[in-house]
C-alpha cells in the first residue's frame, strides 16, 4: 500500500496536524481581532467554493444520465399513480356491483398503500 514505515506515518500525521493547528490559530487571530475594520475575512478556499457554485450552471454538461434520472422518476411516479388508481377503481366497481364479500373488503382495507 504505502512505502512509509509507522514512524514516518506518525511524523507525517503530526506535520499535518501542526499545519492544521497553525491555520486554525491564524484564522482565530483574524476572527477575534477587536480592531478589524471589515466584517468579513478573506478565505481563498471559501471564495473558490462560492465562485464554483455561482458559475456551475454555465459549465453544466447534459449527459444521457442527467436526462434519464429525472425522466425515470417521472415515469415511475406516473406508473405508480395509475396502478394505484386502477386498483382502487377495480375495488370500488366490485363493491358497487356487489361482487365482493365483507372478507375481501377487510383484506383490502388492511393493505398499506390505500
pLDDT band of 70, cuts 50, 70, 90: very high
Q: Which of 59, 79, 95 is the last residue of a domain?
A: 59
- Whether 81 and 70 map to the same domain: the answer is yes
- Whether 39 and 77 map to the same domain: the answer is no
pLDDT confidence of residue 87? 86
Q: What rounded mean pLDDT belongs to the chain?
A: 87
Is the pLDDT at 32 greater than 60, yes or no? yes
Q: Structural domain of residue 40, as residue ranges?
A: 1-59
Reported as a single tens digit per residue, the pLDDT across 72-91 is 999 999 999 999 899 889 88
The pTM score is 0.47
Contact partners, residue 15, CB within 8 Å, separation at least 6: none
Q: Please check whether residue 16 is in contact with residue 26, taking contact to mean a CB–CB distance below 8 angstroms.
A: no
pLDDT confidence of residue 3? 76
Using CB atoms within 10 Å of the CB of residue 15, give its burial: 0 to 12 exposed, 13 to 18 middle, 19+ buried. Answer: exposed
Is the pLDDT at 104 greater than 60, yes or no? yes
pLDDT confidence of residue 25? 94
Nearest to 91 by CA among 110, 69, 66, 67: 110
Q: Please check whether residue 30 is in contact with residue 41, taking contact to mean a CB–CB distance below 8 angstroms.
A: yes
pLDDT confidence of residue 2? 65
The Cα–Cα gap between 70 and 59 comes to 20
Structural domains in the chain (count): 2
Amino acid at each position: 500500500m504505502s512505502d512509509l514505515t509507522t514512524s514516518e506515518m506518525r511524523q507525517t500525521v503530526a506535520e499535518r496536524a501542526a499545519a492544521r493547528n497553525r491555520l486554525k490559530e491564524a484564522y482565530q487571530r483574524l476572527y477575534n481581532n477587536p480592531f478589524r475594520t471589515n466584517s468579513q475575512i478573506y478565505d481563498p478556499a471559501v471564495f473558490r467554493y462560492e465562485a464554483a457554485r455561482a458559475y456551475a450552471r454555465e459549465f453544466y454538461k447534459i449527459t444521457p444520465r442527467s436526462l434519464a434520472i429525472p425522466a425515470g422518476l417521472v415515469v415511475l411516479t406516473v406508473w405508480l399513480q395509475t396502478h394505484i388508481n386502477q386498483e382502487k377503481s377495480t375495488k370500488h366497481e366490485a363493491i358497487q356491483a356487489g361482487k365482493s364479500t365483507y372478507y375481501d373488503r377487510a383484506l383490502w382495507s388492511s393493505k398499506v398503500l390505500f
